[in-house]
Chains A and B, each alone.
Chain A
Amino acid sequence: MIPGKFEYYRPGSLNEAVALLSKLGEDARPLAGGHSLIPLMKTRLATPEHLIDLSGIAGLKAIEHEGNALKIGAMASQFELIHSDLIARHIPIIPETSLLIADPQIRYKGTIGGNVANGDPGNDMPALMQCLDATYDVIGPGGARSISARSFYNGAYDTALKSGEIVTSIRIPIPPNGHGYAYEKLKRKIGDYATAAAAVVITMSNGYCQTASIGLTNLSETPLWAEEAGKHLVGSTLDSASVSLAVAAAESIVDPASDMRGPAEYRRKMAGVMLRRAIERAKSRAKA
């Protein structure tokens, strides 16, 4: 219930934050909303010696249209994502997903950056970002770079971030007008992580699927971009046979943990059920 001791810093700039993180190394953690990290610290499963609070850094919350993408500041909260007209208009699967994360209080503080960067397999944004082929802008001691969401995750709490690096923004290509989308999440109750969840974004033309991208949440140590499953849908009318192939492909790549949400075999099958339902809902929303 009570965290261990640590030193606290509230840098006013990104450079300062990066400098602190590099200097303090492994024992330092960035603090965004804190609603993933602080619970871990209270049970002492995480005992960082230094916390670098990013909330004092200006300019990390902006939500902007940049070319054919939306650029979302890493410190934008789930609440801000839900209430952004820009995001609702262009990438509605994002607020749909945000509304399924945690509970109202946590959504005021939980940030998109925190949700994508800490490598917690239970988080919903990572698989969604992979589905949307997002890119994470990162700043570190070695300068700025960008990492695709699809190559960001190595294992549980193990990401491509090097020591001292912070995610500053997330850039997401805007799906075409009329795209179909759905985030289908099975969970025990509000506030729970997914037993299984699937993000689906498709485009249709004359009744045929032109593009399909599928992300799967909490079904492995990392989020999963189900590339093969997506391929089974492309060129089809999203008929039962094609969907079944996609479902089988998805079930074959998941490796869920057995926990109190259910045994692995149940969660594997639920991945399939969630995917099936997400495809159906995406189809109903797609134009042409």
Chain B
Amino acid sequence: MNQQTPIDIERSERTDKLQGMGCKRKRVEDIRFTQGKGNYVDDIKLPGMLFGDFVRSPHAHARIISIDTTRAKALPGVIAVLTAADLKPLGLHYMPTLAGDVQAVLAEEKVLFQNQEVAFVIAEDRYIAADAIELVDVVYDALPCIVDPYKSMSPDAPILREDIKDKMVGAHGPRKHPNHIFEWQIGDQKATDEVFSKADVTIKEMFVDHRTHPSPLETCQCIASMDKIKGELTLWGTFQAPHVIRTVVSLISGLPEHKIHVIAPDIGGGFGNKVGAYSGYVCSVVGSIVLGKPVKWVEDRMENLSTTSFARDYHMTTELAATNEGKILAMRVHVLADHGAFDACADPSKWPAGFMNICTGSYDIPVAHLSVDGVYTNKASGGVAYRCSFRVTEAVFAIERAVEVLAHKLGMDSAELRMKNFIKPEQFPYRAALGWEYDSGDYPTAMKKAMEAINYKQLRQEQAEKREAFRRGETREIMGIGISFFTEIVGAGPSKNCDILGVAMFDSAEIRIHPTGSIIARMGTKSQGQGHETTYAQIIATELGIPADDIMIEEGNTDTAPYGLGTYGSRSTPVAGAAIAVAARKIKAKAQMIAAHMLEVHEDDLEWDVDRFRVKGLPEKFKTMKEIAWSAYNSPPPNLEAGLEAVNYYEPPNMTYPFGAYFCVMDIDVDTGVAKTRRFYALDDCGTRINPMIIEGQVHGGLTEAFACAMGQEIRYDEMGNVMGASFMDFFLPTAVETPKWETDYTVTPSPHHPIGAKGVGESPHVGGVPCFSNAVNDAYAFLGAGNVQMPHHPWRLWELGESLGLYK
């Protein structure tokens, strides 16, 4: 038994005082949020501020014959009405997208999706603006529309993008059809096809990851304020990547970056919805520049759901080839990607299909091929990375569903099939067939731990008994066990493969210690609820021995924060977290030199102990970081400048690969199609755990969104292109009553290339959760002869499935 010495106890007290990495530090943000003192965009009021609102198209596809703004302009309190005609001379009626396409800011000759922006009214207040938008008279000539991506490339399909119809080559290569965007391929097609042609067993299934929307509780909004005298623009907004927005605004407005101040204040949730630029931002900027007054734009919920960037809409034909014994030999995937009217996909520029090529998942699949065709339809443009890195939800959905289909065909338990095919611990770092090098993982340990925790064997037994009872007519409830073992790819990313509009995807941290020993630190990321003000301070506290409560963290002000690529794709911890560690270590190195000077010893005679440098062998001779800080300003050593600070722009050498094992137990009432999640157990491995309380919160939130997506959350269109589900009446956001209770657990497999071994976790639960729920539903119906059960699993859809299976005779 370890006896704690007085020194251990004392050291442990000093460690506790720091509230550094590993502890459940309570959040700094909560002090203001629980008192209603957050500072969100719509809370900000400026003198003389005007309010903007959009006139939107009722049609999915139509020519604009005329726009008459007379009546609107005549309404008292209306200051201006912008149309494409006003933006065109400025070259702003279109803006570049992150995917190499262009997107209409205000529709010029035609509209391409229902609710597309046609005019921007600017008025003295939001009530007048709401009246004015009804007074803009637009005459349309409706055109036939395309809502089925499978019809986009038919020979007689109407041409949607007349603005680029003569462009045979898009941003990502040749276009096969005017409604085609790109074809992207990766992997060894020949070798893959050969394995398939000779394999014992193959499966092929089309999985649809349906269109949905991130729907943060706060919609997108901004305030643009042009100071015409100074020639400076200040732009507050819901920006997950404020520096990128500044660069984009500079490019499209012609104002130099040093005269543009972009500020992302508190943001009410992002989930990827707030990464890109929207018409509202551009029109507000233009309005403010022209009028010299601040212009605020706040979209309402219907606008948010039906016009800002959607997520998913991937139709994935997925194939696996295997031996009779269940060894997977190859994977082949073709995706039809529906991007809506403009390809506004928020991906690093070389990746038009994001990181879909992580689709070989957690399995050692030697050969694979992936191809993706992107097409235009008359729907809102996108897609965005909705809590999924870039298309990782889609990739993991494909492989985790495919593994189930294969297991079923082989008559094998799917947990066993997964175990059989896992990448083994000794294979890491592992180069996957489609290109990525996974940093670290111990899949079998995680899987075994999870299976024991939920008593998997006993669940399968219970399921077998329940199936018999169902067959005997004793119960009308069926039980499903869903499994998902995912590997995520996050932390974009190394500059050799990742850039946003040409800017490499490093991230940054600037740390400065004040003379009296407290710290201010700024990063290039931007929290929308992830708790950076709390967790970043914990990293610094551990690295530098200054209590977290004495460390102020700032993000979101582009004047003061070093350039960063923002927060999405779970990249803050892997990239900015690394920058923080590296910057802190530069400071620590200088501090060591100062301490050596103060103690009159050589640097090599010093060792670090929690919050101080002490002389090796003479522990009573030490200098705390606080004392060193004072000295840095008071009497720095000769040949060293005063001050104690550092900046780091961190170029990640690789992505990070968090993983997890999720299990779901579901009971389905076949007569109504209503599924109840009895239990959900999530084991996550995100490497080093900075704040376990916050990690658990992220898992709860991501699982809830996964539950919603799998079980009913979708944006649909009817054949006329009318958007359905664009309000909270129909868009499924579960309340506390429908949401299951989440159980969380973990293993720790640090990332070998990350300075603190941390991988990031924000999106894992969403990525791993969606297929887990869908697998539970599929597993429930499998014994009744159901084939692939497509999500979302609305009760009515499960009921129709029951009908087709003859369950209601």
The reply to whether A and B meet directly (CB within 8 Å) is yes
CB distance from A42 to the nearest CB of B (A): 9
Residues of B within 8 A of A157 (CB): none
Residues of B within 8 A of A1 (CB): 130, 300-301
Q: Mark B265-306, 1 if CB is under 8 A from A, else 0.
A: 000000000000000000000000000000000001110000
Partner of A266, one of B724, B734, B800: B800
Residues of A within 8 A of B732 (CB): 188-189
Partner of B799, one of A188, A189, A269: A269
Write the chain B residue with the least CB distance to A260.
B730
Complex: how many Å from CA A103 to CA B737?
11
Q: Contacts A2-B127, A266-B800 hold; do A273 and B738 have CB atoms under 8 A apart?
A: no
CB distance from B278 to the nearest CB of A (A): 17
Q: Contacts A2-B126, A2-B130, A189-B735 hold; do A262 and B796 have CB atoms under 8 A apart?
A: yes
Residues of A within 8 A of B687 (CB): none
Partner of A189, one of B300, B671, B673, B738: B738
In the assembled complex, A195 has its CB within 8 A of some CB on chain B: yes
Q: Mark A25-60, 1 if CB is under 8 A from B, else 0.
A: 000000000000000000110000000000000000
Which residues of A1-38 have CB atoms within 8 Å of chain B's CB atoms? Answer: 1-2, 4-5
Partner of B738, one of A2, A43, A190, A267: A190
CB distance from A13 to the nearest CB of B (A): 32
Residues of B within 8 A of A189 (CB): 732, 734-735, 737-738
In the assembled complex, B748 has its CB within 8 A of some CB on chain A: no
Complex: how many Å from CA A261 to CA B674?
12
Complex: how many Å from CA A270 to CA B208?
27
Q: Contacts A190-B738, A269-B808 hold; do A260 and B724 have CB atoms under 8 A apart?
A: yes
Residues of A within 8 A of B808 (CB): 269
In the assembled complex, A191 has its CB within 8 A of some CB on chain B: yes
Residues of B within 8 A of A178 (CB): none
Q: Which 8 A-B pairs have the closest CB atoms?
A: A262-B796, A2-B130, A1-B300, A266-B796, A260-B730, A190-B735, A190-B737, A189-B738
Residues of B within 8 A of A261 (CB): 796
Complex: how many Å from CA A195 to CA B131?
35
Interface residues of B (CB under 8 A from A): 126-127, 130-131, 134, 300-302, 671-674, 712, 716, 724-725, 729-730, 732, 734-735, 737-738, 794-796, 799-800, 808
Could you list some 18 contacts between A and B, CB below 8 A?
A1-B300, A2-B126, A2-B131, A4-B131, A5-B131, A188-B712, A188-B732, A189-B734, A189-B735, A190-B735, A190-B737, A261-B796, A262-B794, A266-B673, A266-B800, A269-B799, A270-B672, A273-B671
Residues of A within 8 A of B130 (CB): 1-2
In the assembled complex, A263 has its CB within 8 A of some CB on chain B: yes
In the assembled complex, A186 has its CB within 8 A of some CB on chain B: yes
Partner of B725, one of A43, A192, A260, A269: A260
Complex: how many Å from CA A269 to CA B735?
26
Interface centre among A43, A44, A273 (most CB of B within 10 A): A273
CB distance from B142 to the nearest CB of A (A): 22
Residues of B within 8 A of A269 (CB): 799, 808
Whether B674 and A186, one on each chain, are in contact in the complex, defined by CB atoms closer than 8 angstroms, is yes
Complex: how many Å from CA A4 to CA B730?
24
In addition to A188-B712, A195-B796, A262-B796, 14 A-B residue pairs with Cβ atoms within 8 Å of each other are A1-B130, A2-B127, A2-B131, A103-B735, A186-B674, A189-B737, A190-B737, A190-B738, A192-B729, A260-B716, A260-B724, A262-B795, A262-B799, A270-B672
Write the chain A residue with the least CB distance to B737.
A190
Residues of B within 8 A of A270 (CB): 672, 799
Partner of B672, one of A4, A103, A192, A273: A273
Complex: how many Å from CA A269 to CA B798?
13
Contact count band on A: 20 to 34
CB distance from A108 to the nearest CB of B (A): 17
Write the chain B residue with the least CB distance to A44.
B134
Complex: how many Å from CA A4 to CA B127?
9
Residues of A within 8 A of B725 (CB): 260
Complex: how many Å from CA A43 to CA B729?
13
Residues of B within 8 A of A44 (CB): 134
Write the chain B residue with the least CB distance to A258.
B796
Residues of A within 8 A of B734 (CB): 189
Write the chain A residue with the least CB distance to B303.
A1
Partner of A188, one of B134, B716, B724, B795: B795
Complex: how many Å from CA A261 to CA B712?
10
Q: Contacts A2-B126, A2-B130 hold; do A195 and B737 have CB atoms under 8 A apart?
A: no
Complex: how many Å from CA A269 to CA B794?
15
Residues of B within 8 A of A103 (CB): 735
Complex: how many Å from CA A2 to CA B303?
14
Q: Contacts A1-B300, A262-B796 hold; do A191 and B735 have CB atoms under 8 A apart?
A: yes
CB distance from B291 to the nearest CB of A (A): 22
Whether A263 and B735, one on each chain, are in contact in the complex, defined by CB atoms closer than 8 angstroms, is no
Residues of A within 8 A of B737 (CB): 189-190
Write the chain B residue with the least CB distance to A267.
B796
CB distance from A264 to the nearest CB of B (A): 10
Residues of B within 8 A of A267 (CB): 796
Complex: how many Å from CA A79 to CA B69?
48
CB distance from A25 to the nearest CB of B (A): 23
CB distance from A277 to the nearest CB of B (A): 9
Complex: how many Å from CA A44 to CA B134?
10
Complex: how many Å from CA A273 to CA B669?
11
CB distance from B350 to the nearest CB of A (A): 38
Q: Contacts A1-B130, A269-B799 hold; do A186 and B300 have CB atoms under 8 A apart?
A: no
Complex: how many Å from CA A190 to CA B732?
11
Whether A266 and B300, one on each chain, are in contact in the complex, defined by CB atoms closer than 8 angstroms, is no
Write the chain B residue with the least CB distance to A262.
B796
Q: Mark A242-283, 1 if CB is under 8 A from B, else 0.
A: 000000000000000000111100110110010000000000
Complex: how many Å from CA A186 to CA B674?
9
Complex: how many Å from CA A172 to CA B808?
38
Residues of B within 8 A of A2 (CB): 126-127, 130-131
Whether B672 and A186, one on each chain, are in contact in the complex, defined by CB atoms closer than 8 angstroms, is yes
Q: Contacts A2-B127, A190-B737, A270-B672 hold; do A263 and B300 have CB atoms under 8 A apart?
A: no
Complex: how many Å from CA A233 to CA B121?
62
CB distance from A227 to the nearest CB of B (A): 25
Complex: how many Å from CA A1 to CA B737?
27
CB distance from A211 to the nearest CB of B (A): 27
Complex: how many Å from CA A199 to CA B301?
34
CB distance from B793 to the nearest CB of A (A): 12
Residues of B within 8 A of A4 (CB): 131
CB distance from B5 to the nearest CB of A (A): 56
Complex: how many Å from CA A2 to CA B795?
34
Complex: how many Å from CA A270 to CA B670?
11
Q: Mark A218-250, 1 if CB is under 8 A from B, else 0.
A: 000000000000000000000000000000000
Complex: how many Å from CA A241 to CA B131?
59
Interface centre among B300, B724, B725, B795 (most CB of A within 10 A): B795
Residues of A within 8 A of B672 (CB): 186, 270, 273
CB distance from A18 to the nearest CB of B (A): 31
Whether B796 and A263, one on each chain, are in contact in the complex, defined by CB atoms closer than 8 angstroms, is yes
CB distance from B737 to the nearest CB of A (A): 5
Residues of A within 8 A of B738 (CB): 189-190
Q: Mark A148-192, 1 if CB is under 8 A from B, else 0.
A: 000000000000000000000000000000000000001011111
Complex: how many Å from CA A244 to CA B665?
32
Complex: how many Å from CA A43 to CA B730?
15
Complex: how many Å from CA A273 to CA B799?
12
Residues of B within 8 A of A5 (CB): 131
Complex: how many Å from CA A227 to CA B734?
36
Complex: how many Å from CA A220 to CA B657?
53
Complex: how many Å from CA A43 to CA B301?
11
Complex: how many Å from CA A188 to CA B708?
11
Complex: how many Å from CA A191 to CA B808?
29
Complex: how many Å from CA A54 to CA B483?
55
Complex: how many Å from CA A190 to CA B730?
12
Complex: how many Å from CA A266 to CA B801?
11
Residues of A within 8 A of B735 (CB): 103, 189-191
CB distance from B705 to the nearest CB of A (A): 15
